[in-house]
Amino acid sequence: MTIQDARAGKTIFMRNIGCDTQVDVTSVDANGVPAEWVAAPNANDNPAVLFLHGGAYILGSIESNRELAARISKSTRSRVLNIEYRLAPENPFLAAVEDATDAYRWVLDQGIDPAQIAIAGASAGGGLTVAALASFRDSGNPMPACAVCISPWVDLECIGETMTSKAGVDPMTQRDGLVGIANICLTGLPPTLVLVSTWETLLSDSTRLVEKAESAGVDVTLEQWDEMIHVWPISAPVLPEGQQVIDRIGEFVRQHQNVATAAD
C-alpha cells in the first residue's frame, strides 16, 4: 500500500463513521497554513480551539477530522481552527510544529485573546500539541488558556512499556509502522487535560507525559477511560463513550477559558 492509498483509506474510514453534526465551515489561510474555521450553531465568535489531527504525522487531513472538530466546537461552544499541517515523509516532523505555531500566531492576529484560546490534538496531534506549546513559549508567544491531549503519541521511539503489554488489545496503534517529543521541556505550559484508554499501546506515553509535566510544575490532569480504543472520540457517532469524552473536553475548555478571563 502506498502512502497515498493509506491517506485515501483514512478519509474513507472517517466518512464511513458518519458526520451528523451541523456546522458552518469557512476555509482560511492561516499564515500560509491551509485551514478552516468549524463552527457549531452554539459557538461564540471569540473563543477558539486550535485543533491538530492525528495520523502518525503521515496521514489525516482537515476533511477526515472535520466531524471531530465539529463535535469539539459544539462541546466547547468555540470556533475550531482545523489545520492542514504538512505531513511526513514529504516534510520532516518539525514542519508540523512550524505550521501549528504559524496557525496559532494567525489566531492571535485575528484579535482573539489568548485567554480565550485552547489547543487540542489527538494521537500524533496530541504529541504535536505538546511540541507546539513549547514552540509558542520559546518564540515568545503568549500561552493559550489550556490544552487537551487525546491519546497522545509523544514517544516517537515507541519504548513505553504498554507498547508491548497492550499490543494484544489495542487494534488502532502498534509499534510496527510508528517510527523527541518526550525530551521537550514542559515548564510554563498551560493547564492540560490528558485523556487515554486503559487498553491503549500509548497508555505509557500519557502516564510518562503527565509525570514529566507534574515535575515541571504544570497543572495537568490525567483521565484514564476503561477499555476504549485509541482516539475513541472519533467514534462518537456510534460510541456513547466517544461523545461522553467530547463533553468532558468541552467542560474542561470552558472552565479554563472562563478562569483565564476572570483573572484579567
Q: What residues act catalytically?
A: 123, 200, 230
Cα atoms found within 13 Å of the Cα of residue 114, Cβ hemisphere only: 14
Q: How far is CA 257 from the centre of its chain?
A: 17
| Bridge pairing between strands 192-197 and 220-225 | parallel
The string of DSSP letters for 13-81 reads: HHHHH------EEEEEEETTEEEEEEE-TT-EEEEEEEEE--STTTS--TTTTHHHHHHHHHHHTEEEE
Residue in 195, 193, 191 with CA at minimum distance from that of residue 203: 195
* DSSP label at residue 248: H
Q: How far apart are CA 74 and CA 56, in angstroms?
A: 26
Q: How far is CA 218 from the centre of its chain?
A: 18
Cell 473563543 appears where?
Answer: 47
Strand partners, 52: 121
Sequence-separated (6 or more) residues with CB below 8 Å from residue 14: 63, 64, 65, 67, 234
Q: How far apart are CA 91 and CA 233, in angstroms?
A: 28
Q: How far apart are CA 151 and CA 202, in angstroms?
A: 7
